[in-house]
Amino acid sequence: MMNTEEKERLQKFMAGAGVASRRRSEEMIAGGRVRVNGRVVREPGFKVGGADRVEVDGLAVRRRNKFDYIMLHKPVGVISSARDDRGRKTVLRLLSRDWEERGLYPVGRLDFDTSGLIVLTNDGAMTYKLTHPRFGVEKTYLAWTPGQAAAGQLRRLAAGVRLEDGVTAPARARTVRLEDNFSLIEITIREGRNRQVRRMLAAVGLETLRLKRIAFGPLALERRLAPGDYRPLRSGEIEALRRATEGRGR
Ligand code: URA
């Protein structure tokens, strides 16, 4: 992670600021299009820091935010940790090289067989707040279960069910579709225990056929974001995430 005291290579700085890929930035540097503090620099490894003014074709390049935040639609069959001992594909492998190099990691976990919204960042303090149960960030899931879920089962989910690691906190649960052979349940929880939704559903006698996270705190999974796709969060969304953790944690 870069702080204002650290220097980084000019092409990395340019790529990070969204000017172009690193390779393309190197070409721009070699082509004499880049100035640092008013002087043309043609050395690709030239180091720049917080106080340096970088211009490309005479236009100032703004230093990027200190941290990066991405919304990613995790597909089924991809692991949400940064590494996997068993060599399975991780969410980080879905990112392009420039993003991959920024030290991003997933905020919390989704199971291998769960799809949906996951945030990636390199902001450790924000990650802590978004994942610690004390801050109670809401996560909303859609669960497909066979047969027809009964109102009593939904009430039990909402009230809290006994799992082997304790009773779950109050949640919200409702049926969004009821067909002859399956039900679609929307459930919102504030905790983040391992396989929590699947275990909650099993505790009330419901099997999970498919599970998808559709919201994380103030962020909703965008419909046009296909599985495997991602996009940077907008500044308003980053602010909303920050606000979601404010005033809690005591
Ligand atoms: N609950 C689960 O059971 N699985 C997930 O991936 C997330 C929440």
Position 3 confidence tier, pLDDT thresholds 50, 70, 90: very low
- CA-nearest of 214, 209, 196, 212 to 149 is 209
The answer to whether 79 and 70 are in contact (CB under 8 A) is no
So what's the pLDDT on residue 107? 96
Domain boundary among 60, 86, 104: 60
Q: Is residue 27 part of a domain?
A: yes
Task: Write down the catalytic residue from 111, 113, 165, 180.
Answer: 111
Residue 189 alpha carbon, nearest atom of ligand 1 = 8
pTM for this entry: 0.76
Position 104 confidence tier, pLDDT thresholds 50, 70, 90: very high
**In this structure, are 122 and 239 located in the same domain?**
yes
**In this structure, are 162 and 199 located in the same domain?**
yes
**In this structure, are 205 and 102 located in the same domain?**
no
**In this structure, are 118 and 166 located in the same domain?**
no
- CA-nearest of 145, 151, 154 to 183 is 145
Domain extent, residue 29, equals 4-60
177 by DSSP, 3-state: which? strand
pLDDT at 1 over 60: no
The helix or strand, by DSSP H or E, that contains position 173, with its residue range, turns out to be strand 172-178
Residue 213 alpha carbon, nearest atom of ligand 1 = 7
Q: Is residue 97 part of a domain?
A: yes
Q: Ligand 1 centre and the CA of 112: distance in Å?
A: 9
pLDDT per residue as tens digits for the range 213-222: 999 999 999 9
Q: Is residue 250 part of a domain?
A: no
